[in-house]
A and B are shown apart, each in its own frame.
Chain A
Amino acid sequence: MTHPLAPLARALAQRSARYVLIGVSGANLYGPGGQAVFTTDDIDLFLPPDPDNLVHAWSACEEAHLEIWLSDEPLDRPRDRRVAERIVERSALTRATGQDDLMVDLTLVMKGFDFEDVWAERRTFIIEGVPVPTARLLHIVTSKHATGRPKDQYFLATHRDALEQLLKKGE
């Protein structure tokens, strides 16, 4: 079964689009073999505030047969630099959706962090032969803590408990 992110990651890599995987999907990649995986409905990609890069990311989404949304409406066409500049000015989120309820958020904001700092310390994991730049786990949990939403607090508490158990087992 194909990883839901693989086709998009491949198209992003072909365009040299810069992004890092963040959120629960990113945190899940750090769990020791097959454990500490938390359910999530979406995949969060953190992008730099660069209109050209955003256009490349949208183009990759289209190649991966994903629909692109701004709020509740399809993103305007043509999806060019002019539209991307407006999105970057507002630090707005665009969302790509696809088969099997796949939902990929293209965010320009990661609470408490600048893109370049996260990018500089990224790990590049491999998923189905495709490189997937992933934020440091420390950056992911620190950002979730800074966000302070109840669901993030709950994730952090559960995540800590799961990691404690896993690392105890490994000792």
Chain B
Amino acid sequence: MERCLAGLRQAAEFVKSYRFEMTDDYLSLIVRLEALPQNQSGADKSGRWRGSRRYAESLIARATLLPRNL
């Protein structure tokens, strides 16, 4: 238990001190993504919210439990 708590304390310290670096590699990744044909003005993004929590919850809410075939 002590070791677990110490591990959690270390993780909490790490989160507090963590600072994301905007490296050149990351920025070039962003620029590459922006340059994709599907990311230009006029692109249809109607389906792009389907990973959202609200969408997942709406699917779960509409789910029907069926008896399992054994």
Contacts and interface: CB of A to CB of B under 8 A. Distances in A.
Interface of A: 1, 3-5, 25, 28-34, 37-41, 100-102, 123-128, 132, 136-138, 141-142, 145, 148, 150, 153-154, 156-157, 160, 163-164, 167
A36 to B, nearest CB: 8
Given A127-B46, A156-B20, A157-B20, A37 B51 contact: yes
Interface of B: 15-16, 18-20, 22, 26-27, 29-34, 36, 38-58
15 contacts: A28-B48, A30-B39, A39-B51, A40-B52, A40-B53, A123-B43, A125-B44, A126-B43, A126-B44, A126-B46, A127-B46, A141-B22, A153-B20, A160-B20, A167-B33
B49 A28 contact: yes
Contacts of B51: 28, 34, 37-39
A139 to B, nearest CB: 10
A39 to B, nearest CB: 4
Contacts of B22: 141-142, 145
B53 A41 contact: yes
A37 B30 contact: no
Given A136-B34, A156-B20, A124 B42 contact: yes
A136 B26 CA distance: 15
B40 A123 contact: yes
A133 to B, nearest CB: 9
